[in-house]
Amino acid sequence: MTPSHLDTLLDRYTTFLRIEKNVSAHTLRNYLSDLMQFFAFIEQSHAQAEAQPIIVSQIDHHRIHAYLSMLHRRNKKSSIGRKLASIKSFFRFLLREGVLERDPTILIGTPKKDQPLPTHLPVDDMFRLLETPANDVPSGVRDRAILEVLYSCGIRVSELVGLNWEHIDANLEVIRVLGKGNHERIVPIGSKALEALARYRQELPELIAPKRRQAIIADGMGPTAPVFLNSRGGRLTTRSVARLVGGHARDCGIAVQTSPHALRHTFATHLLDAGADLRAIQELLGHSSLSTTQKYTHINLDHLMRVYDKAHPKA
């Protein structure tokens, strides 16, 4: 493939992604990186058999399958799927632009992703985690409130950090969250979580560094203000929440890697173990499809099998 030929096509494709598709800089970088890896493999394998450089129209599904076979030896299915998606997108663009008459990727299926069972904590471990943050320092009071809300509501970490005080209705014991696709839903919140939030709000001024405290108290405590702040008075990030959840889990001796998403899984699993309806859990989690929620039934089945093996006289 001659450099000028490839460079011209990639330049056109880059403009298409940036202007028409309006992809982020991160996505654009990933797409182009995937394509360069693909073309490097194609050129190397073609050079071993042919003296003349390959052109795009010569790339057929056999060559693409050979590339995917090479990837299977060293990559996860999710990574292969992403790289294939980049290749498919590029060839669809070439077909649209009239560079190609047929799409060589049209009959190539995307590999199914591995579906590992979600990590969750036993009830005793979860309760121990909730009690771990220090209750006599402002940051510990805040962290207790974060853990209580994550476990009480089962919300995503992005939904947690997006909470404002106006989204919490202590009288009705519900919170309003903005989920994926800007879909809003109402989620119940338990009394323990509400108590932790009330205590945190009292301690909030002490959490902020003295030189920023007055400004935050003046205009950062109203209904539209963020709920969870850092010591500089800014909204906590998802990464910060992940760090503090993992840190408290290690502090209380939990062996498995614990993330905010693991607490979401714990919420769903404990509800299912207690007999909650799968449809209700779907609504609480904000899943658009029941199939996404059904992965928790595998965990529940494992639990039932252990109970059966332990308790049944003929097991």
pLDDT of 214 over the 80 cut: no
Identify whether 289 is part of a domain: yes
To the query of whether residue 261 is one of the catalytic residues in this protein, the response is yes
Higher pLDDT, 216 or 63: 63
Q: What average pLDDT does range 135-149 have in this prediction?
A: 96
To the query of whether residue 82 is one of the catalytic residues in this protein, the response is no
Asked if 214 and 285 sit in the same domain, the reply is yes
Higher pLDDT, 252 or 289: 252
pLDDT of 301 over the 60 cut: no
Among the listed residues 261, 270, 295, 303, the single catalytic one is: 261
Identify whether 101 is part of a domain: no
Instruction: Please identify, among 48, 77, 96, the residue that sits at the C-terminal boundary of a domain.
Output: 96
Range of the domain at 12: 3-96
Asked if 269 and 221 sit in the same domain, the reply is yes
pLDDT band of 211, cuts 50, 70, 90: confident
Residue 258 phi, psi dihedral angles, 5° rounding: -115, 125
Asked whether the beta carbons of 177 and 183 are under 8 A apart, the reply is no
H/E element holding 188? strand 184-188
Residues 6+ apart with CB under 8 A from 264: 150, 154, 155, 156, 285
pLDDT of 308 over the 90 cut: no
Tens digits of residue pLDDT in 43-61: 888 766 665 677 888 888 9
pLDDT of 309 over the 80 cut: no
Whether the model clears a pTM of 0.85, i.e. scores above it, the answer is no
Q: What average pLDDT is seen over the chain?
A: 86
- Collapse the DSSP code of 247 into the 3-class scheme (helix H, G, I; strand E, B; otherwise coil) and give the result: helix
CATH number for the domain including 38? 1.10.150
Asked if 194 and 306 sit in the same domain, the reply is yes
Among the listed residues 176, 287, 295, 303, the single catalytic one is: 287
To the query of whether residue 264 is one of the catalytic residues in this protein, the response is yes
Quote the CA–CA distance of 92 and 85 in Å, as a whole number.
Answer: 10
Asked if 206 and 58 sit in the same domain, the reply is no
To the query of whether residue 31 is one of the catalytic residues in this protein, the response is no
To the query of whether residue 72 is one of the catalytic residues in this protein, the response is no
pLDDT of 3 over the 50 cut: no
Q: What is the pLDDT of residue 299?
A: 57
Among the listed residues 180, 183, 239, 279, the single catalytic one is: 180
Burial of 176 (0-12, 13-18, 19+ CB in 10 A): middle
Identify whether 112 is part of a domain: no
To the query of whether residue 192 is one of the catalytic residues in this protein, the response is no
